[in-house]
Amino acid sequence: MKKYFKFIVCFAVAINMATVCFAADTIKIGVLQAFTGPIESLTPPMASAAEFAINEASDSGIFLGGKKIKAVRADSTCIDAAAATAAAERLVTVEKVVAIVGPSCSGTSAAVATKVSAPNGITTISSSATSAALSEIKDNGYFFRTAPSDARQGQVLAKITIDKGIKKVAITYTNNDYGKGLSESFGKAYKKLGGKILMTSSHEDGKADYSAEVGSLSASGANYLVVFGFIDQGGKGIIQASLDSGAFDSFIFADGMIGSSLTKHFGKDLNSSYGTMPGGQSEATEKWKSIAKSAGIAIDGPFRGSSYDAAALVILAAQAGNSADKASIQKHVMAVANAPGEKIYAGELKKALKILAEGGEIDYVGAEDVEFSEIGEVFGSYQEMEIINGEFVSVKVH
């Protein structure tokens, strides 16, 4: 009986020691995305892209001398700042992540950056938060983003609209930082180029019926409706009410409305509608498309390449400092993102990790031509997306 007891004790100790060793040799990175809420159809491929980068580096056997990396998912929703902050806090205090990829949306990103990232010294890189207001937040240098600011997206979309000969529009925007910022950026640029905005109004997400909002917008006399909303909530509801009533059949979108779930629902009823989403056409983006396709990651919507880039930058920053220490990661993000150094594309993380391990320098180009400004933001390019035969098609890069 004593021998049996000793065996149990030894076995339990062995398991416990193995768990401790696993923990010591595994680095955790938070993947904080809006898995529920108004863009929930967009986020699964984004998370998969980030996790693809994490697995690529983890499997290399080179990261920090052979340490493994584990992705830990958490839900930032998109519109609930308190829930996003609580999720981020759990990642930091319970899961002990060394950095966070996310959050998805602008309002929740501002909350997480100021209430969790900055106070805890956690590098946080959003791949999809685009509000221009994020350039001004007090993040102590811990918040970065691989998606370009809406200050530029509004300008690009305004010029496309004028170039198409559309001189009068009505605008509806989701009532948050993302929607307001886009509406202001687009409106200012559009009017400067000679366009006229017949009406601008906000809408709330989560309503069952948007016929009243659409009725007011239609009364303005506009034939084109600009929808700065979310694909799975108010933006979709606005389109449904517009088509049901016959008020509008031509729409102009930004990135929060571009995805296959929209065209699957409305199909050819949206033909000739168009919009913009981040992304370009270059050696980097072509390599990424090939890699994403082989990995089964859909590229029919925004922020997939930028999600890969966000995770990759965290990993490469850790390797550059030869440490998973939080402060070291933040210190080296800019160094691996920009020149000088050997250019690194998506799918080349093992190569990059080896260069860094040997004391060399890299210039991470990644999936979407990453180049950070002095405040850790990318300038970015935009794809003009038009709905042709019921599907979004990239027709031009701006």
What digits encode the pLDDT tens for the residues 261-296? Answer: 999 999 999 999 999 999 888 999 999 999 999 999
Question: Which SS3 state, helix, strand or coil, does residue 7 take?
Answer: helix
Query: In the beta sheet, which residues pair with residue 345?
Result: 366
- Say if CB 222 and CB 200 are below 8 A apart: no
Q: Dihedral of the CA atoms 7, 10, 16, 19 (nearest 10)?
A: -90
Q: Indicate the pairing of strand 168-174 with strand 362-366.
A: unpaired
pLDDT at 238: 98
Q: Give the mean pLDDT of 64-75.
A: 98
| Strands, E assignment, 48-175 | 68-75, 99-101, 123-126, 143-145, 168-174
- Say if CB 265 and CB 248 are below 8 A apart: no
- Say if CB 263 and CB 270 are below 8 A apart: yes
In whole angstroms, give the CA distance from residue 129 to residue 100: 13
Higher pLDDT, 353 or 281: 353
User: Residue 10 pLDDT > 50, yes or no?
Assistant: no
**Residue 275 has what DSSP assignment?**
E
User: Residue 337 pLDDT > 60, yes or no?
Assistant: yes
Query: In the beta sheet, which residues pair with residue 31?
Result: 73, 101
User: Residue 23 pLDDT > 70, yes or no?
Assistant: no
pLDDT at 14: 42
The verdict on pTM exceeding 0.85 is yes
B/e letters for 326-348, b = 16+ CB within 10 Å, e = fewer, are bebbbbbbbbbbbeebeebbbbb
φ and ψ of 237, to 5 deg: -65, -40
User: Residue 35 pLDDT > 90, yes or no?
Assistant: yes
pLDDT-derived band at 1 (thresholds 50, 70, 90) equals very low
CA 383 vs CA 70, 268, 366, 368: distances in Å: 32, 21, 18, 12
User: Residue 18 pLDDT > 60, yes or no?
Assistant: no
User: Residue 5 pLDDT > 50, yes or no?
Assistant: no
Q: Dihedral of the CA atoms 319, 364, 256, 386 (nearest 10)?
A: -150
Q: Dihedral of the CA atoms 171, 178, 284, 142 (nearest 10)?
A: 160
- Say if CB 195 and CB 167 are below 8 A apart: yes
In whole angstroms, give the CA distance from residue 256 to residue 128: 9
360-380 pLDDT tens trace = 999 999 999 999 999 999 988
User: Residue 255 pLDDT > 70, yes or no?
Assistant: yes
pLDDT at 24: 59
**Structural domains in the chain?**
8-148+283-356 (3.40.50.2300), 151-280+381-397 (3.40.50.2300)
pLDDT-derived band at 196 (thresholds 50, 70, 90) equals very high
CA 250 vs CA 75, 238, 242, 247, 351: distances in Å: 34, 12, 9, 10, 47
- Tell me the percentage of the chain whose pLDDT exceeds 90: 91
- Say if CB 142 and CB 121 are below 8 A apart: yes
State the sign of the Cα–Cα–Cα–Cα dihedral 271, 275, 280, 285: negative
- Would you tell me the crossing angle of helices 304-320 and 326-337 to the nearest 10 degrees? 120
H or E stretch covering 242: helix 234-245
174-187 pLDDT tens trace = 999 999 999 999 99
107-153 pLDDT tens trace = 999 999 999 999 999 999 999 999 999 999 999 999 999 999 999 99
> Given its phi and psi angles, is residue 26 left (phi above 0), alpha (psi -120 to 50 degrees) or beta?
beta
pLDDT at 144: 98
pLDDT-derived band at 92 (thresholds 50, 70, 90) equals very high
CA 177 vs CA 62, 127, 180, 216: distances in Å: 41, 16, 5, 23
